[in-house]
Structure 1
Amino acid sequence: MKNLKLVLIVLLMLGGISQATAQRKVVKVYPKHGTIVTKVHKPKIIVHKKVNFHFSDGVWYKPQGRRFVVCAAPIGVQIRRLPRGRKVVMLSNGRKVYKYKGVWYKKKGRGYVVVTV
């Protein structure tokens, strides 16, 4: 009986240790183009060719009344900073570009411009 209690206590302790050391992974799911949302978290409003776009966490939105529609990044639009998690890609022609959520950017002056690759 004492051995059974000892085994159970050891198993509980090991289970607690394994839970404490387990890595937690956060998976973000980003909306598809055409998805309608009611709120955008801390958007940057960017005007491009007289059209307002809202840019938040690498996702581009167009206002539609009181809602927002997820859209493709407008080619040629300039932003000041890229979101965290962007990837640096060296093209075969030696050009350095940045990729984030399927959108390609290149450095231009103090900002970044959406380009096609």
Structure 2
Amino acid sequence: MTTLSESVHSTVVNQPTPAVKKAIKWVLENEAKLIAKIEDVFGKKIADSVRQNIGPVRSALKDLLGYTTVSYKTIEDHVASKLSSKVGLTKAKAIGVAVSKAIELIAPS
């Protein structure tokens, strides 16, 4: 029997690649909206961290457009990976979560 948590996780993680790639493309053209949503949901401190690291975040998102399979979890992991050597693993993971969740919340599907 699948729990509600497993079902929600499966739904979010296994979003169809075309929808996630469309969301990434939209966010790359609307970075200010991404940062505003991060500030609304996660607070000013994490939004400031994203602002300060928008170059690597943008690079990570652009990389994902070339992937065969992309999910919101892939966004989270790849952004964190890109940033970990620059800001440390804990902060990189927090930024990855914030970026992924904000994209999921604001980007048109």
The TM-score with structure 1 as length reference comes to 0.24
Q: Which has the larger radius of gyration?
A: 1
| Structure number with higher relative contact order (C-alpha < 8 Å, ≥ 6 residues apart) | 2
Q: Which has the higher strand share?
A: 1
Q: Which has the higher helix share?
A: 2
